[in-house]
A = this chain, B = another copy of it.
Amino acid sequence: MPKGRKRQNRKRIGRWTAQRLAVLDEFLQGGEHLSARDVYQRLREKEINLGIATVYRSLDFLIEIGLLRQYDFGSGEAKYELNDDEADQHHHMVCRVCGKVINYSKFVKRGLSLVKDIKMELEKNYGFKINSHQFEFRGVCGVCGD
């Protein structure tokens, strides 16, 4: 996560401004793995013009309240997507040549008990409170291979 500015501890929830709603809406309308610039440009095409800094701030806000999640797939920019709840969680496979990202959700159920055990172990041995996990596979996609 970028070295964001320090966040105040006991603040109330932020305000639902038109800009934040517009950013969220891009994801609700199906946007997957969008970068800040992606969101910025999509809104621009709809003549909704917000500053790029506001896009970043809105994304941070939406992460803070739990609606979005941030990923780094190695493209040089952070990607964002809706934050599934645990049971529906999906994971990612990334092509290391073209950067294509594929969602998969098979085996999530089968992995759940393993995840639960790891969480317990980590919390017991290291005093961590685990909030989230991600499994990521890297390789070469069919187009880039051969």
Contact = CB atoms under 8 A, between A and B. Distances in A.
Interface of A: 1-6, 70, 72, 74-78, 93, 95-96, 99, 102, 104, 106-107, 110-111, 114, 117-119, 121-122, 126-142, 145
A121 B107 contact: yes
A142 B118 contact: no
Contacts of A137: 118-119, 122, 128, 130, 132-133
A80 to B, nearest CB: 11
Given A76-B5, A122-B93, A139 B130 contact: yes
Copies of this chain, complex-wide, total 2
A118 B107 contact: yes
Given A76-B3, A122-B93, A139 B135 contact: no
7 contacts: A1-B72, A6-B99, A72-B74, A93-B128, A102-B122, A133-B138, A136-B136
